[in-house]
């Protein structure tokens, strides 16, 4: 039996279904590697440290997470180590999200010890170099890293070491891939897909569903807004006009377990007795999606559903940089999907109507289909390369 240790970003209480699809994608990858591959799952803070969301049951999911900080020594016992997705190696993530939660949830007693544990866990600081030789990085992002981040030598030294010495690197956006390539010093750093894009049709069929997903009718579009980006005043009218001209009705998709935003009576809301499987099954049946949430965009496009993304490349999250809007714009730009990105930055009514006309033309024609195909082709190429490298490491 060959053993793989996978390290993913924390998803407390399984609050974010998009991050669950990221993890499920790795389970599917390992399944394809063969029955003699066993996976050990690690994250800084297991989901069960918070009461699970009502739509998720642990017994329905094929993984059980161990807290990474308490099990670091175990990593060296594995034939391969894989860091999977998110901003796990970006300095802002280590300084903000990871360190803050290490203080809130334990086991660190102070900020200094929290930062040290995070650096050991996510940058493998102090780990023997032969362990890095069998370590693979896939689907991460260092989009916000800049020169000032490397002035922090306690971050920069182990970060450079990991990036330059690990076996292989695929970043989920081309800008991060370019930054990683500088650090690889001639070693390849690839533009990989977002991990969730690696899911293939049928990979999630084992997730239980109810009649909630089956109740999605023909000619319906989904809306989920207000979780990541403030909703601009002009958006309801534009969304209603888009729905009218496409001949669809709009309903609320409770992607993060959130009920419909107050002041949005123009969106129908169905019952809330649904499962994770229902959310994903329903998503595949919509004719169009309107959202401000990154992994909802990723998963909808993966299913071939045209998805209008709301955001501003310059908007900064007041909480964590991981929630900034830039990642959404870069994702859309990477696949020539900018026509489906509606900026909240000030622009004229005429510009917004021109954007609406382009959306209608692309959705009615084959433009949206071509974007979805482009994403699928890139994901398949990246998946094949990843599987080849994992096979090499495990051999």
Strand partners, 343: 311
Residue 318: CB partners within 8 Å, gap ≥ 6? none
Residue 284 pLDDT level (bands cut at 50, 70, 90) = very high
Average pLDDT, the chain: 92
Which region among 17-26, 42-51, 56-65, 178-187 has the lowest average model confidence (pLDDT)? 178-187
Range ranked top by mean pLDDT from 40-44, 272-276, 356-360: 40-44
What gap in Å lies between CA 43 and CA 109, rounded to an integer?
Answer: 19
pLDDT value at 268 more than 80: yes
Residue 67 pLDDT level (bands cut at 50, 70, 90) = very high
User: What phi-psi label fits residue 86: left (phi over 0), alpha (psi between -120 and 50 degrees) or beta?
Assistant: left
Neighbours of 233 (CB within 10 A): 7
* Of 96 and 271, more confident: 96
Q: Where do the domains of the chain lie?
A: 2-202+377-394, 211-364
Residue 227 pLDDT level (bands cut at 50, 70, 90) = confident
Backbone φ, ψ for residue 5 (5° rounding): -100, 125
The alpha helices in the chain, defined as continuous H runs, are 17-33, 91-93, 99-105, 111-122, 129-132, 153-165, 174-184, 211-214, 235-246, 276-283, 294-302, 326-334, 349-364, 367-394
The answer to whether residues 331 and 298 touch, using CB atoms and an 8 Å cutoff, is yes
CB contact burial 292-321 (16+ within 10 A = b; e otherwise): bbbbbbbbbbbbbbbbbbbbbbebeeeebb
Express each pLDDT in 177-218 by its tens digit: 999 999 997 678 899 999 999 999 999 999 999 989 988 988
Q: What's the alpha-carbon Rg for the chain, to the nearest Å? A: 21
CATH superfamily of 211-364: Glycogen Phosphorylase B; (3.40.50.2000)
Residue 318 pLDDT level (bands cut at 50, 70, 90) = low
Residue 342 CB-density burial (10 A; 0-12 exposed, 13-18 middle, 19+ buried): buried
pLDDT value at 322 more than 80: no
Q: Averaged over 11-16, what is the pLDDT?
A: 94
What gap in Å lies between CA 143 and CA 319, rounded to an integer?
Answer: 17
Residue 86 pLDDT level (bands cut at 50, 70, 90) = very high
Residue 44's pLDDT is what? Answer: 95
pLDDT value at 315 more than 80: no
Residue 269 pLDDT level (bands cut at 50, 70, 90) = confident
Domain pair 2-202+377-394 / 211-364, same fold: yes
User: What phi-psi label fits residue 210: left (phi over 0), alpha (psi between -120 and 50 degrees) or beta?
Assistant: beta
pLDDT value at 323 more than 80: no
What gap in Å lies between CA 205 and CA 187, rounded to an integer?
Answer: 38
What gap in Å lies between CA 188 and CA 367, rounded to an integer?
Answer: 32
pLDDT value at 230 more than 90: no
The answer to whether residues 50 and 65 touch, using CB atoms and an 8 Å cutoff, is no
pLDDT value at 262 more than 60: no
Range ranked top by mean pLDDT from 158-172, 248-262, 350-364: 158-172
Q: Averaged over 26-48, what is the pLDDT?
A: 95
Q: Which CATH architecture has domain 2-202+377-394?
A: 3-Layer(aba) Sandwich (3.40)
Residue 127 pLDDT level (bands cut at 50, 70, 90) = very high
* This prediction's pTM: 0.95
pLDDT value at 287 more than 90: yes
Residue 370's pLDDT is what? Answer: 97
Which region among 85-99, 125-139, 175-189, 330-344 has the lowest average model confidence (pLDDT)? 175-189
Distance set, CA 174 to CA 41, 329, 335 (Å): 27, 12, 11
pLDDT value at 103 more than 90: no
Residue 261's pLDDT is what? Answer: 64
The answer to whether residues 251 and 332 touch, using CB atoms and an 8 Å cutoff, is no
């Amino acid at each position: 039996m060959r053993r793989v240790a996978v390290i993913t970003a924390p998803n407390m209480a399984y609050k974010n279904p998009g991050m669950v699809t990221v993890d499920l994608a790795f389970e599917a990858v390992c399944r394809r590697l063969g029955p003699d591959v066993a996976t050990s799952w690690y994250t800084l803070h297991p989901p069960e440290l918070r009461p699970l969301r009502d739509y998720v049951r642990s017994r329905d999911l094929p993984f059980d997470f161990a807290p990474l900080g308490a099990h670091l020594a175990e990593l060296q016992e594995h034939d391969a180590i894989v860091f999977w997705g998110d901003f796990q190696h970006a300095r802002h993530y280590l300084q903000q999200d990871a360190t803050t939660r290490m203080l809130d949830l334990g086991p660190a007693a102070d900020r200094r010890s929290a930062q040290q544990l995070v650096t050991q866990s996510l940058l493998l600081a102090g780990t023997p170099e032969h362990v890095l030789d069998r370590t693979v990085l896939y689907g991460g992002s260092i989009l916000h890293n800049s020169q000032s981040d490397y002035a922090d030598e306690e971050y920069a030294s182990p970060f450079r070491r990991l990036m330059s010495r690990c076996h292989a690197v695929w970043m989920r956006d081309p800008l991060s891939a370019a930054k990683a390539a500088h650090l690889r010093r001639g070693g390849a750093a690839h533009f990989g897909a977002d991990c969730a894009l690696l899911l293939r049709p049928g990979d999630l069929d084992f997730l239980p569903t109810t009649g909630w997903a089956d109740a999605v009718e023909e000619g319906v579009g989904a809306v989920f807004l207000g979780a990541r980006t403030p909703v601009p005043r002009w958006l309801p009218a534009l969304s209603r006009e888009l729905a009218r001209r496409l001949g669809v009705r709009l309903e609320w998709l409770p992607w993060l377990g959130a009920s419909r935003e107050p002041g949005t009576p123009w969106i129908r809301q169905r019952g809330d007795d649904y499962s994770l499987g229902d959310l994903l099954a329903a998503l595949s049946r919509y004719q169009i999606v309107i959202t401000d949430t990154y992994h909802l965009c990723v998963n909808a496009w993966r299913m071939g559903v045209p998805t209008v993304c709301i955001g501003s490349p310059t908007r900064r999250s007041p909480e964590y940089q991981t929630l900034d809007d830039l990642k959404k714009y870069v994702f859309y730009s990477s696949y020539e999907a900018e026509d489906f990105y509606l900026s909240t930055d000030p622009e004229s009514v005429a510009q917004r109507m021109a954007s609406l006309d382009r959306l209608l033309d692309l959705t009615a024609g084959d433009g949206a289909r071509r974007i979805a195909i482009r994403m699928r082709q890139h994901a398949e190429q990246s998946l094949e390369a990843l599987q080849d490298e994992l096979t090499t490491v495990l051999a």
